[in-house]
Amino acid sequence: MDARSSITVNATPQQVYDTWHDFERLPSFMFHLQEVRSTGPGRSHWVAKGPMSTKVEWDAEIVDDVPGESIAWQSSDGSVDNAGEVRFVPAPGGHGTEVRVALTYSPPGGALGAAVAKVFGEEPDQQISDDLRRFKQIVETGEIARSESTPDGDSSSSKNPFAQRGAEPLDQPANGAGTEVDA
């Protein structure tokens, strides 16, 4: 399977690269990741949530790293066959950095695993797009915007994403401000 997505971030390529290159921080915006732990120069151990609350683990190694430009990796232990690259390209007109992610992987369970993941809202293209949107927020504001309906920042991670409370008016202030006035 292949997945691709991109987003423009209002920061320099080096700033965006530096934030992404802090691999242990990736689970703060990649909600399917539970942990990324450095195991040595250019090597790391990854733990992710799979379909139906399964846990998937693998080791990865960086195969190409150009500071401020790109990072490429591949799995090294064969448990989850994956490889990918993230590129940091100056946006046109000097308006930030385009972050382009390309990922290739064999899902656990093969085609059946991919179909189950899609049914449960864990389609890779959508996950990468959601992850990039949260990454942009972290780089630009230092935090991820959250709402009552998505306290974890991702509706697919809530137990029942369809159980939402309807909109309600704000309580009226005690002094009557905000009420209609007859003219």
Average pLDDT, the chain: 80
Strands (E), 91-130: 97-105
- Provide the pLDDT for residue 111: 54
pLDDT in tens, 5-23: 999 999 999 999 999 999 9
**What average pLDDT does the segment 123-152 reach?**
82
Residue 106's pLDDT is 74
Give buried/exposed letters for 123-154 (b at 16+ CB in 10 A, else e).
Answer: bbeebbbbbbbbbbbebeeeebeeeeebeebb
Domains in the chain (CATH in brackets) are 2-20+62-145 (3.30.530.20)
Helix, strand, coil share of the chain (percent; to 5): 30, 35, 40
pLDDT of residue 77: 73
Q: Tell me the pLDDT band of 28, cut-offs 50, 70 and 90.
A: very high
| Contacts made by residues 177-180, CB under 8 angstroms, sequence distance 24+ | none
Closest to 7 (Cα-Cα) out of 123, 137, 121, 118: 137
Handedness of CA 146, 152, 156, 159 (dihedral sign): negative
pLDDT bracket for residue 66 (50, 70, 90): very high
More confident residue, 56 or 137: 137
Single pTM value for the model: 0.72
Provide the pLDDT for residue 43: 95
101-119 pLDDT, tens digit each? 999 977 655 554 554 455 4
